[in-house]
Amino acid sequence: MAKEGIPSIYDYTLDELKEKLKPSFRAKQVYNWLYKKYANSYDEMKNIPNELKEDLKANYPIDVMTIIKKEQSIDGSIKYLFKLRDNLTVEAVLLLMKDKKKDEDGNIIRSEKYTVCISSQVGCKVGCSFCLTAKGGFVRNLTVGEYIAQIVNIKRDNDIAENKALNIVYMGMGEPLDNFTNFIKAVSIFSELDGLAISRRRQTVSTSGIASKIEKLGQIDLGIQLAISLHAVDDELRSELIPMNKAYNIASIIDAVKKFPIDTRKKVMFEYLVIKGKNDSVDAAKKLIKLLNGIQAKVNLIYFNPYPGTTYQRPEEQDMLRFKDYLNERGLICTIRESKGIDISAACGQLKEKDANGDS
């Protein structure tokens, strides 16, 4: 494995690589091998001179992370456990959103649709009381290359064609806006047309509500989608669920969201984790409508996913439906997110760092 601290080839935009590799056209060749053919070593790059390959091996390693375990859910989701160069681990999830569809003659009339949920940190600083990721505390931010390598490894492992569009959600381990600089650059590299070519409109960042960083993100105007982990309609409950709410309360988050530039074809997603007896009442639904008034919003209700040791409970289906219907009937678009990967602990709030052997 490469030494910790050595830059990775995945850390660089195409323009940056052109500055480092001479002649500069070599950068585009390397990019093609990395992101179109998912090369796993420089030895695979047949049109790259041996001298350059040796330089690349020494200074820009490809082995950012390795897959040490993967689990497949009955719904088709696959959870990956990656070991990083410093032997820490991080998880990501490939979500099969729609199956391949064929006609009666066996011709493909619709290909699979994928979303990849990637991580931003080893552990997390936020400390949400309902989230298993937070139990191990915060260890470190992921590098730019570690962001990118999650997608490359998953595409390679599943033989996903280079021109096959997929969506990225920054909803895995950690708070993306706590890793602001690396996250911003990762968005740019993912969207490189000569690279993975994942449109910024297909990238969604989910934040627990760092209001100052939401404003900063809005000023940069990357063109990505925004999702807010709201989960409560009053500061008392939200502070219990998300301690950071004491620093960035609901009012400050709503104010920041109102300033955020929104693609007219899209809406700001408000993720609302429903916990039995905590936030599943009609009264809470009423307050949510008032809170989001004036925002181009969509509410995504999420079932709380229990894990060993938690005191919170999964809500009843009838309460989820009642909450959803109340919002929809009053003009606030609301859906219930199907929890994927529950059987392999890959659903929201269930990702967790493992030790070097893959154990929790």
Q: Residue ranges for the binding site for S-adenosyl-L-methionine?
A: 174-175, 206, 229-231, 305
Note whether 80 and 68 are within 8 A (CB): no
Note whether 324 and 336 are within 8 A (CB): yes
Cα-Cα-Cα-Cα dihedral sign, residues 6, 7, 9, 15: negative
Q: Classify each residue of 232-254 as buried b or exposed e, where b means 16 or more C-beta atoms within 10 Å of its C-beta.
A: bbeeebbbebbebbeebbbebbb
From the CB of residue 149, how many other CB atoms can be counted at a distance below 10 Å?
27
What is the identity of the amino acid at 295? I
d(CA 256, CA 116): 27
Note whether 52 and 60 are within 8 A (CB): no
In degrees rounded to 5, what are phi and psi of residue 229? Answer: -80, 95
Question: Is 91 a catalytic site residue?
Answer: yes
Closest CA to 60 of 138, 128, 143: 143
Q: Where is the binding site, in residues?
A: 124, 128, 131, 174-175, 206, 229-231, 305
Q: Which of 117, 271, 334, 348 is catalytic?
A: 348
Q: Which of 91, 146, 271, 353 is catalytic?
A: 91
- Residues with a catalytic annotation lie at 91, 348
